[in-house]
Amino acid sequence: MHPLKKQILALVLTVIILLQVAAVPAPAAPAEVELALGSTAAVLIDGENGTVLYEKNARTALPPASITKIMTLLLAMEDLKSGRVDWETTVTVSERAWRTGASESQMFLNIGQQVTFKDLLKGIAIVSANDACIAVAEHLNGSVEAFVQRMNRRAAELGLEQSHFVNAHGLDDPDHYMSALDIAHLASYFIHTQPDAAAFHTETEFTFNDIRQFNYNTLLQTYPGADGLKTGSTPKAGYCLASTARRQEMRLVAVVLNASSKEQRRKDSATLLDYGFGNFELKTLHEKDAVITTVPVKRGQKREVGLIADGPVRAVVPHSDPDYRIVEEFDLPRSVPAPVEEGELIGTLNLKDPQGAAITGVELRAQESLKRLGFFANIGRRIGDFFAGLWRRVTG
């Protein structure tokens, strides 16, 4: 081939390749951004499914300071729900609890004082009371050390891979750490499973022993939709905040660690939340009680049963891309045997983003109960199916 023809052919092929590359769809999510954050680590997740919307050093283990108390409150609330304690259970303050209160964050408990479980939990949630953490831990498990073992077991159960606790309040210790992402997932779980305790975090002040104190989370007064969750600060941890805000149906959870000041942690948290609300929305894929799919039923009074989720199926999608599509993949049996009970777990709907990354799995349950066909009814159905198939072959 003539050299000139070779050059022309190469040029044509190059143009074709470039056109094909240009035709590839752009990433569905907004382009990666660098937010102006002063904190060492930060993360923003959607509170519905835990989808990570922004992260900076989010998987690095760092001192969490008083954000630790979310785990303390979670265990306390789980014990309350199990009946081990109730809101009016009285707790006797030990000398160890009293001594731990010798810091800025305390309820000013006195040795031997009788305090209700509810007051202690409010003190932890609203004014980050270290003395209340010790009192609760000792009451529930006999010692702080035994309670901390529970904290670590619970962290493992929740899949918090970059978390380890040595105390119930978060004061500095080299073996006490969490990652921003672990904190965000813990905060989201806490909000969903413990709404009564989460409501304490919305309160801006707390009075106990005639001492009036105020919540350190200034977002509650300054950020629209903010309703929690937990601040923290120690010399090694810097200023930290696990914040959450809700607008319409969308809840976001933001975490910042090791900010240089109270104002920096507030500003960084607001920046994260602004980014989330400004670039994403919560999309409903299936309404509550809507039949999402069906599965055949062997020998059932109906040939198939509809499958529904426990609530609406939703996912966060970017505002900027109307063509963004959530991928739905079903993990279902080929059929189920009758009888089928209403609410029986049948399978799972797995949601993925357009790149195939998992978003969440949604349990699918039987919409209704179906009885098993009796012997003669089943024979009658088989005979009917036989002749119906025969007719289709004849007429087809």
CB 330 within 8 A of CB 349: yes
Distance of CA 391 to the CA centre of its chain: 54
How far apart CA 259 and CA 159 sit, in angstroms, is: 26
User: Is 128 known to be catalytic?
Assistant: yes
Q: For every residue of 18-56, which 3-state class applies, written as one string?
A: HHHHHHCCCCCCCCCCCCCCCCCEEEEEECCCCCEEEEE
Q: What are phi and psi of 390, to 5 degrees?
A: -65, -40
User: Is 69 known to be catalytic?
Assistant: yes
Task: Tell me how far apart the 2 most distant CA atoms of the chain are, in Å.
Answer: 100
Catalytically annotated residue among 39, 56, 69, 243? 69
Catalytically annotated residue among 39, 56, 66, 179? 66
CA-nearest of 69, 265, 55 to 180 is 55
Catalytically annotated residue among 39, 94, 105, 128? 128
User: Is 39 known to be catalytic?
Assistant: no
How far apart CA 309 and CA 124 sit, in angstroms, is: 36
Give the Å distances, CA to CA, from 72 to 23, 66, 139, 186, 302.
Answer: 52, 10, 12, 11, 49
Annotated active-site positions, please?
Answer: 66, 69, 128
